[in-house]
Structure 1
Amino acid sequence: MTDTIFLAGASRGVGREIAKCLRKQQLKVKAMVRSESARDQLEALGIEGGIGDALNVAEIEQAMDGDAISAVISTIGGKPTDGERADFKGNRNLIDAAVKVGAKKFLLITSIGSGNSSPALPLQALETLSAVLAEKEQAENHLIASGLPYTIIRPGGLKSDPPATGQGILTENPLVAGVIHRADVAALVCQCLLSDRATNKILSAVDRNAIYGTPIFEEFQLD
């Protein structure tokens, strides 16, 4: 049985870009989405889609059933105005399910501003996003405590236009902030998936030409 990459959050945004990237690498991908339309769009890309809500443990386990899951990637989360968000609870359910099925790695996409990267954001942004960032930090901590090999990627401000620049970089410095194109985040995630150097690392992702201020930092090398 071919190992499968299980992707949660592929309906749109960074998750959809990761789905495209994984398919380009000819990896077997199974995506969990919440709508029939999103599943149809993914299946048109050659990706198996399953309907499920990350807040429902049984639906996650059903979506993972029948496949040898080698890695789980999650981009799920919500907005400050949402009611019950998946930032912590949904990711906690996915992490626990990944442990249960024996996944070899979990890649969690959160945000600059989470955990020890909070000083990288302006105070106003922190206040606006405080509830979301607190849940993302909980999810990060749950993943670290799970015992799963992990990579946590914290992107900066996300953009869809102009097109991807190919200038996305990673750093272990939590004080770096900036913006980055969603497709460039996806490219970095796909590289981290295949890199042993990224295992058990927390990395910030920004465009090298769109960094706020002039911080001194080292770029994290994946090979």
Structure 2
Amino acid sequence: MTTSGSIFLAGASRGVGHQIARILATQNVPVLALIRSSAAQSDLQALNVETVVGDALNPTDVTNAMNGQISAIVSTIGGMPQDGQRADFLGNKHLIDAAANKGVSRFILVSSLGAGATKDAIPATAYEALASVLADKEKAEQYLMDSGLNYTIVRPGGLKSEPATGNGILTLDPHVAGSITRSDVATLVCRCLASDAAQNRVLSAFDKNMVYGTAAYREFVV
């Protein structure tokens, strides 16, 4: 992958974000990672990933973190609320605003199946349990699509912490869902970074051997 600057990665401390950092590091792609806690710094720095400690819920932290030349932003943030606020919408809003102000046009948002048109693709019980989180993720998706930035939204299904299978796929079809490992999601996101075809697309991600049900779909190749 050839870039004209660093990939600004929010959410690199763990999960999909950390796996993305690892993949980009092996490709010698410069990464600037925004992390909430310094606990993850040593591990990331061992990968030659530059880190800055800050909170995506604080717009000043986000603005100050985006130093130097940045070619694209990848956000995997979300999860448990802090001081009553969740980063799924507000944190991503701050990242999108900062990207627009800095003139960074490329933004990849890792969201979730169940958001937007994929609501009916996941079991009703799962949607009910995650309804408030998915509502915030959907707001972030819409804010990004309305921002004028060159976006890609990746909606992974049920996340697994097992080793990568290499069977992760993307589709434009909002009616299909399945599970996928975090490592395979990270691989798909990195492919999207290098793909013109993935620009201004909303894509579902799952393992082709972990599909829920028997629905047919067409794979989106990046």
TM-score range relative to shorter protein: over 0.9
- Which residue does 2:42 correspond to in 1? 40
C-alpha separation between the residues in 1 aligned to 2:105 and 2:25?
A: 20
* TM-score of the superposed pair, with normalisation by structure 1: 0.96
Point out where structure 1 has 5 or more consecutive residues left out of the alignment. none
Say whether the 8 Å CA contact 1:80–1:132 is kept in structure 2.
Answer: no
C-alpha separation between the residues in 2 aligned to 1:82 and 1:44?
A: 31
SS in 1 for 2:197: helix
- Which residue does 1:130 correspond to in 2? 131
Greater mean deviation of Cα atoms: 151-160 or 82-91: 82-91
SS in 2 for 1:42: helix
* TM-score of the superposed pair, with normalisation by structure 2: 0.96
Is 1:117 matched up with 2:118? yes
Corresponding letter in the other structure for 1:83: G
Residue 44 of structure 1 and its aligned partner are, at CA, apart by 1.2
Say whether the 8 Å CA contact 2:34–2:54 is kept in structure 1.
Answer: yes
What do residues 183-204 of structure 1 show as CA deviations (whole Å, max 9, x unaligned)? 0000000000000000000000
Say whether the 8 Å CA contact 2:81–2:87 is kept in structure 1.
Answer: no
Residue 80 of structure 1 and its aligned partner are, at CA, apart by 7.9
Is 1:62 matched up with 2:64? yes
Point out where structure 2 has 5 or more consecutive residues left out of the alignment. none
Corresponding letter in the other structure for 2:29: L
Say whether the 8 Å CA contact 1:80–1:131 is kept in structure 2.
Answer: no
C-alpha separation between the residues in 1 aligned to 2:116 and 2:41?
A: 33
What do residues 82-124 of structure 1 show as CA deviations (whole Å, max 9, x unaligned)? 8310000000000000111111300000000001100001111
Identity of aligned pairs, percent? 55
C-alpha separation between the residues in 1 aligned to 2:200 and 2:119?
A: 20
Structure-to-structure mapping, 1:21-170, within 5 angstroms: 21-65=23-67, 67-79=68-80, 83-161=84-162, 163-170=163-170
C-alpha separation between the residues in 2 aligned to 1:160 and 1:200?
A: 28
